[in-house]
Amino acid sequence: MAAVARATASSRALTKSLPLLGRLPKLSSAPTHSARALGIVRAFSALVSPPSRAVVYEQQVVEVPPVLVKENDVCVRMLAAPINPSDINSIEGVYPVRPQLPAVRGREGVGEVHLVGSAVKDLSPGDLVIPSPLSFGTWQTYIVKDQSVWQKFDKNSPIEYAATISINPPIALRMLEDYTSLEPRDSIVQNGATSMVGRCLIQIVKSCGIHSINVIRDRCSLESFQ
């Protein structure tokens, strides 16, 4: 109540002072006609909320300090790393596999070997490599990890193919091979055929002489899919 009464009194003081404003000298960094002098500071401070704690989702690009390349490590300069839907899911917190935070996202990609540790024999600077098994953190310029997680890739492959071969093509193959046994001239039916997995599946069955019937939803960009 005291604060309200003071606020009302201060408002009156402010209203009373308003006609004077036109004649006040220009505000300097240390004003003599300060808000305190007008008696309004306490009235406004009553509207400040308490300090708050919040969960803040922030996308940051940070400089990561150099790390030691140990004898079995390979330092890879990343050339391309896609945004897979599973990356989005894990940022949303709904992907079953969750990294310890803070974390660098990106599960697949392709890079060029930059440096190798003294015990590494099968990889050399300049080799094209992909992470396999999939590892977190391809959305960065240099990655240092044990040689066992890097697989050499054909240098003549298009970069965009190499960067996206680790997730969707194997899933298409698993769908074809894990549930049934297909022979040439068999047919498969799939929905969601415009998806990356669906497109991979179409290419794989075609190369095996298997027919595919592809169900897609009606879209204005249908021509680009054909």
Ligand X SMILES: NC(=O)c1ccc[n+]([C@@H]2O[C@H](COP(=O)([O-])OP(=O)(O)OC[C@H]3O[C@@H](n4cnc5c(N)ncnc54)[C@H](OP(=O)(O)O)[C@@H]3O)[C@@H](O)[C@H]2O)c1
> What residues make contact with ligand X under the rule CB under 6 A?
85, 167-168, 171, 192, 194-198, 216-217, 219
Strands 150-153 and 128-131: antiparallel
Instruction: Kindly state the smallest distance separating residue 29's Cβ from ligand X, in Å.
Output: 56
Cα(79)–Cα(84) distance, rounded to whole angstroms? 16
Residue nearest to ligand X (CB): 195
Neighbours of 202 (CB within 10 A): 17
Is the Cβ of residue 147 or residue 164 nearer to ligand X in the bound state?
164
> What angle do helix axes 168-178 and 196-207 make, rounded to 10 degrees?
60
Tracing tokens 């794989």 back to the chain, one arrives at: 204
Cα(164)–Cα(153) distance, rounded to whole angstroms? 12
Instruction: Kindly state the smallest distance separating residue 166's Cβ from ligand X, in Å.
Output: 10
Catalytic residue among 95, 142, 161, 179: 95
Spell out the residues 6+ positions from residue 148 whose beta carbon is closer than 8 angstroms to its own: 72
Is 95 a catalytic site residue?
A: yes
Cα(168)–Cα(166) distance, rounded to whole angstroms? 7
Is the Cβ of residue 85 or residue 158 nearer to ligand X in the bound state?
85
Is the Cβ of residue 157 or residue 194 nearer to ligand X in the bound state?
194
Instruction: Kindly state the smallest distance separating residue 199's Cβ from ligand X, in Å.
Output: 8
Q: End-to-end CA distance of the chain, in Å?
A: 73
Instruction: Kindly state the smallest distance separating residue 96's Cβ from ligand X, in Å.
Output: 9
Instruction: Kindly state the smallest distance separating residue 171's Cβ from ligand X, in Å.
Output: 4
Q: Please report which residue ranges of the chain form alpha helices under DSSP H.
A: 2-17, 35-38, 41-45, 85-92, 159-163, 168-178, 196-207, 222-225
Is the Cβ of residue 147 or residue 166 nearer to ligand X in the bound state?
166
Is the Cβ of residue 43 or residue 167 nearer to ligand X in the bound state?
167
* Residues that are catalytic: 95
